[in-house]
Structure 1
Amino acid sequence: MPHSVEDIEIQLLLEALYHQYHYDFRHYARASVKRRLIQARTQLGFSSFSAMQAALLHDLSTLPRLLNYLTVQVSEMFRDPAYFRALREKIIPHLRTYPSLKVWVAGCSNGEELYSLSILFREEGLEQRTMFYATDINPEALRAAEAGIYPLDQIRKFTENHQQTAAPTSLSDYYTADYGRAAFDKTLRERVVFSDHSLVTDAVFGEMHLISCRNVLIYFDRSLQDRALGLFRDSLARKGFLGLGAKESLRFSKHAEAFADFVREEKIYQRREP
């Protein structure tokens, strides 16, 4: 079946993005990428994807603007509270047995999940023995995550989510509010390493006891999902844990046998013995 001119333009745009800047979206789910590129073309004022490609190659300011459309920055703190409650009640008891811990938040976006985990580990007395690694391919998202400042109108939802995780504290203990913003306590990121890392092109990232990568794989095609899951397998310590998003699964992955269901309903897996 012949490709449309628009589909050819999109493929060439993605190739240009990869070869010029090493951002590889070629194996993201194509329908999702096309939808986001159409939005970018409209809002950035380009007449065609070819015009967007020309700007991408010749105007450095185009890259960060385009990345903001291609990378998903929609999240919330303690999103899917049952996931965090399962971490608190079923995973933390195992993590307590280690003298030191490493936690990787892969695709950290603007940092909501990172701060959720940092708060949870503080509440459970594990923060001081834990190093957190927050990674994303979008430099602007990483800067936002490091700042830890969120619109005040989001805090009510964040607070409701936090309460549903059986939290022993109040979310208000961890931020100060002024001028319509909530700034989270900078001590929550004292043990955080923020880093650019691509699940598409980069290598194994440390030896982790917990990897939380939620609502990222749904944007990848099957081959790229397998690459990412292989990376997680190789990045996990013996009997380490992997948390995925509610709509994600290991079921059809070639790496499925490397993991055992641990909290099936919350998509939390444990790496099997090699």
Structure 2
Amino acid sequence: MLVEAVFLRWGHDFRDYSQASLKRRVLHAQKQMGVASVSALQERMLHDATAFSELLEHLTVPVSEMFRDPHYFRALRTQVVPVLRTYPSLKIWVAGCGAGEEPYSMAILLEEEGLLDRTMLYATDINPAALDKARAGIFSAEQVRLFTSNYQQAGGTRSFSDYYTADYGAVVLDQRLRRNITFADHSLATDSVFAETQFVSCRNVLIYFNRTLQDRALGLFHDSLAHRGFLGLGTKETMEFSAWKPRFEQVARAERIYRKVAQ
């Protein structure tokens, strides 16, 4: 009933999210928001936009890190970038971008490979608060040590400190990384394809969907991709049981990188 109410009142569709994961998040939200029951949580968010925004934070879990799974970005450099370099201009979609860690990581990789200036990066999410944070490009100084280690393992060719300015316990990413990124609201559950892209990266998002919604998202990625475009998923995600499996071929098995099959 809570999920139905969210959809009818606010237009966010969690009905095909994994039930076990969704239940954990709702109960956590109930506790953190100080309400006595799920019914009380539903009543509150129906009549209070601020309460809904807080609930959305708990339901979407925008937690990540820059260059998460460094071997994925290493594989992009060796398996995907050489093909992307053949295009005169590029469009890349990072779906479920959270607070921006992945699109900024992608921007750094593209900068080092000489491709950023001719690339438009679309970074989308359903969480407005996360998108606002992503647009700001500000991260805590405590995160930088992990980001730096990941960057080095991912094959970074410079010093990670080249890409940010440190000030008062926080770091601000360089403006040149942000100028080619468009952050926008987009739901894989309800919205349609908005651009033709050469590469889609959607990592650690499908694990929160049930099979129906996973197939819907994979269909969106397939329809968005240009001829022989690339798709990157999270290390715990697979196409193995999807109806879309025949439409893609594996490029890097361990890193979950696929390529659209020619039609």
Normalised-by-shorter TM-score class: over 0.9
Q: CA deviation at 1:205?
A: 2.5
TM-score, normalising length from structure 1?
Answer: 0.95
2:66 aligns with 77
Write the distance in 2 (CA, Å) between the matches of 1:48 and 1:265.
42
Q: CA deviation at 1:74?
A: 1.2
Write the distance in 1 (CA, Å) between the matches of 2:65 and 2:47.
36
Among 51, 54, 60, the alignment partner of 2:40 is 51
CA distances 1:233-269 after superposition (whole Å, capped 9, x unpaired):
0000100000000000000001111100011110000
2:110 aligns with 121
Quick check: 1:68 aligned with 2:88? no
Q: Which runs of 5+ in 2 are unaligned?
A: none
What letter corresponds to residue 258 of structure 2 in structure 1? Y
Among 202, 207, 219, the alignment partner of 1:218 is 207
CA distances 1:186-207 after superposition (whole Å, capped 9, x unpaired):
1111011111000000001311
What letter corresponds to residue 81 of structure 1 in structure 2? P
What is the aligned length? 263
Q: CA deviation at 1:162?
A: 0.5
Write the distance in 2 (CA, Å) between the matches of 1:166 and 1:199.
31
Write the distance in 2 (CA, Å) between the matches of 1:66 and 1:255.
32
Write the distance in 2 (CA, Å) between the matches of 1:59 and 1:131.
36
CA distances 1:107-133 after superposition (whole Å, capped 9, x unpaired):
000000010000000000000110000
Is the partner of 1:108 in helix, strand or coil? Answer: coil
1:239-254 maps to which residues of 2 (within 5 A)? Answer: 239-254=228-243
Among 165, 170, 173, the alignment partner of 1:181 is 170
CA distances 1:29-78 after superposition (whole Å, capped 9, x unpaired):
00101001101101101111111111111112111100000002110000
Quick check: 1:28 aligned with 2:6? no
Write the distance in 2 (CA, Å) between the matches of 1:35 and 1:186.
38
Q: CA deviation at 1:135?
A: 0.2
Write the distance in 2 (CA, Å) between the matches of 1:39 and 1:166.
38
Write the distance in 2 (CA, Å) between the matches of 1:129 and 1:57.
44
What letter corresponds to residue 269 of structure 1 in structure 2? Y
What letter corresponds to residue 184 of structure 1 in structure 2? L
Write the distance in 1 (CA, Å) between the matches of 2:175 and 2:35.
40
Among 114, 122, 143, the alignment partner of 1:133 is 122
Quick check: 1:269 aligned with 2:258? yes
Write the distance in 1 (CA, Å) between the matches of 2:37 and 2:145.
41
1:199 aligns with 188
Is the partner of 2:254 in helix, strand or coil? Answer: helix
1:190 aligns with 179
Q: Which runs of 5+ in 1 are unaligned?
A: 1-11
Cα-Cα RMSD: 0.6
1:229 aligns with 218
Write the distance in 2 (CA, Å) between the matches of 1:184 and 1:121.
15
The runs of at least 4 consecutive aligned structure 1 residues that moved more than 6 Å come to none
